[in-house]
Structure 1
Amino acid sequence: MRAAQVTSFHPSDPVRGLEVRDVEPPTAPKHWSVVNIHAASLNHHDVWSLKGVGLGDEQLPMTLGTDAAGVDDQGRRVLVHAVIGADGHGVGPTERRSILSERYPGTLAEQVAVPTANLVPIPDGMPMDVAACLPTAWLTAYALLFRGAVLVPGQSVLIQGAGGGVSSAAIALAVACGLDVHVTSRDARKRARAQAMGASVWEPGARLPYRVDAVIETVGKATWAHSVRSVKPGGVIAIAGATTGDPDVAELTRVFFQEIRIQGVTMGSRQDLAALVDVVHRSQIPVPIDSHFSLAHTADAVSRFVRGEHFGKIVLDVAGSSGTH
């Protein structure tokens, strides 16, 4: 079968270490299943892997990817939940938690083997490419909004940075669930897209008309000070990443004086993913897809991701490739 793999690390040029090549198909041990992948989507984790973050030379080559939708060996349409070892299903209770493409081959391939318990049914009528967007970025956005920040309809939220998978998912979910949504971006085109989705948009660092109940933070150093100054006393900053690095100043005085809660979030459970799939399907929440690529053109897809040109998810059409690139 064909798979997109990281074969060497190049922090300044991550695509250089990416190869799409023939590999041995996976086998399924007891309590595991093989999924024939129809669609997969990219995440920051794939870029970190190509840069050598979280992987060592001894683990190469490693098949990339955490998100996939496809058909399992029982003929069911399923989503893959990428966290392995969270509760022992299929791997034993003592195995430490990892995500696909760290200890086990990932989803940017024609097939992937995962614990059977990690499979979530795809509702009838939900397209494979839409489903493939949900397991990492959308699941993280769901957990940030409703488990980390514990927001309810009518409250307000600032989402730092428009365009990426997590932020675009957070905008769509927050608007659909009745939150008052504010979004920042340096890119006028991305601000326009966020505004069209129902958000109030601002340039980075702009003073909001009022302090919000919560901030969704995935940017880090470039936006942290603004996040701390934009949340109301007693509010929460839910954080799931720091793509620009750790902040130079933690703003601890303001944090304790304003009694601001900082809540870290790392994806979500299979139960969270099933709930997310249900709410997206039942409420017909639009899932922004930036572009489609074939598996053979994974390098082009990753290049677009690295350049930050995308708004929404970048999808790889694997089975019966319908990629536009």
Structure 2
Amino acid sequence: MQGLVLDQDNASGINIKEVSLPDLKPQEVKVKVIAAALNHRDEWCRQGKYPNIKDGIILGSDGAGVVEAVGESVDKAWLGKEVIINAANFWGDDQSVQSADFQILGMPTNGTMAEYVHVNVSRLCDKPQHLTFEEAAALPLAGLTAYRAVLYHGQLKPGRQLLVTGFGGGVAQFAAQFGVAAGADVYVNSSSEEKLSKAKALGAIAGFNYKDENWVQSALDQTGGFDLVVDSAMGDTFPLLIKVLKPGGKLVFYGATLGNPPMMDARRVFWNQLTIQGTTMGSDQDFAEMVAFVESHQITPLVDSIFSFSDARTAFDRMAEGKQTGKIVLKI
């Protein structure tokens, strides 16, 4: 079969080549992949910036397809089912935090950017019927991360005010849509006016351009502050996010693409009784609840673009440019 593998000897860092999968284990299923979506971790692997990477591994964490074969211990009722794949492996029994064995599909184990993938049957979930395969492939990793940030850690309630930073990325677009569906007053920020307009079309009340040095004051003037901020950048934006939180507010962050914060206004944090919460991916419980939430509210992932499998390098280049609004999808 054809698979897209990490190849650091190749100038592009990736290569589509003939690969084979090992024999199907008793608890595994073989999924014919119809569509797979890119995540930043795929691009970081390509750039050699992700830990414990290994050439020859099939990349890709997100995927949707059809079950074509099942292991000897798997119920044959799965055969022919349209499914999405939960990329979070070995979370463990503690809902509050992942286990030491936690892994994400697609590195260090073979992922979804291939004609077929073998996964444990516990990683499968019925594809939401209102979604195409391309839309469904965009959901798992980013949707799970956003759900845990907004609804598990954030405990977002109707009427609360939510700020989602960096709107345009996969997790951010789900965080905004989940916030709208939960009945919150949703705001976003971005450096792109086009992305801000797209957020408002999805239900956000307003957006702030973070290149405007007065965006924090504008946000405070308009909202009085936020109950919840969901962020992935941190770095030198952290002090600004602390400023826009209401007393008793919470900052939930799922990444630190700008690095560690240069400082923390500890007095503001303790006096206003703020909470700073880290999060990553989510448990099996979070995944099941996320899919049910998406089905209940008929949420459709925002797909930026769809590329053919043979044009995967162009898809990765678009991810590297950071200009996408929503998810980039490969049609396998």
| TM-score, reference length from structure 2 | 0.87
User: In structure 2, what residue type is equivalent to 1:147?
Assistant: Y
The answer to whether 1:237 aligns with 2:251 is yes
Q: Percent identity?
A: 34
Aligned match of 2:55: 60
Query: In the TM superposition, what is the alpha-carbon distance from 1:87 to its structure 2 partner?
Result: 3.3
Q: Structure 2 CA distance, aligned partners of 1:40 and 1:283?
A: 23
Aligned match of 1:132: 137
The answer to whether 1:46 aligns with 2:42 is yes
The answer to whether 1:21 aligns with 2:17 is yes
Structure 2 residue runs without a partner (length 5+): 70-78, 94-98
Aligned match of 2:157: 152
Single out whichever of 97-106 and 151-160 deviates more from structure 2.
97-106
- Map 1:1-325 → 2, pairs under 5 A: 1-8=1-8, 16-56=12-52, 59-72=54-67, 73=69, 74-87=79-92, 96-199=101-204, 200-204=206-210, 205-207=215-217, 208=219, 209=222, 210-318=224-332
Q: Structure 2 CA distance, aligned partners of 1:304 and 1:226?
A: 29
Change (3 A) 1:34 1:213: same
Q: Structure 1 CA distance, aligned partners of 2:89 and 2:262?
A: 33
User: In structure 2, what residue type is equivalent to 1:3?
Assistant: G
Which runs of structure 1 show a deviation greater than 6 angstroms over 4 or more consecutive aligned residues? Answer: none
Q: What secondary structure, in the 3-state scheme, does the structure 2 residue paired with 1:214 have?
A: strand
Q: What secondary structure, in the 3-state scheme, does the structure 2 residue paired with 1:161 have?
A: coil
Say if 1:155 and 1:213, in contact at 8 Å, map to a contact too: yes
Q: Structure 2 CA distance, aligned partners of 1:270 and 1:119?
A: 11
Q: What secondary structure, in the 3-state scheme, does the structure 1 residue paired with 2:286 have?
A: helix
| TM-score, reference length from structure 1 | 0.89
Q: Structure 1 CA distance, aligned partners of 2:235 and 2:129?
A: 42
CA deviation profile, 1:205-256 (whole Å, cap 9, x unmatched): 4321211101001122142122111111111101101122222223333222
Aligned match of 2:73: none
Q: CA RMSD in A?
A: 1.9
Query: In the TM superposition, what is the alpha-carbon distance from 1:109 to its structure 2 partner?
Result: 1.1
Query: In the TM superposition, what is the alpha-carbon distance from 1:37 to its structure 2 partner?
Result: 0.5
CA deviation profile, 1:173-192 (whole Å, cap 9, x unmatched): 11122110111111111111
The number of equivalent residue pairs is 308
Query: In the TM superposition, what is the alpha-carbon distance from 1:9 to its structure 2 partner?
Result: 7.8
Q: Structure 2 CA distance, aligned partners of 1:181 and 1:273?
A: 23
Q: Structure 1 CA distance, aligned partners of 2:163 and 2:280?
A: 19
Change (3 A) 1:123 1:220: same
Q: Structure 2 CA distance, aligned partners of 1:255 and 1:295?
A: 48
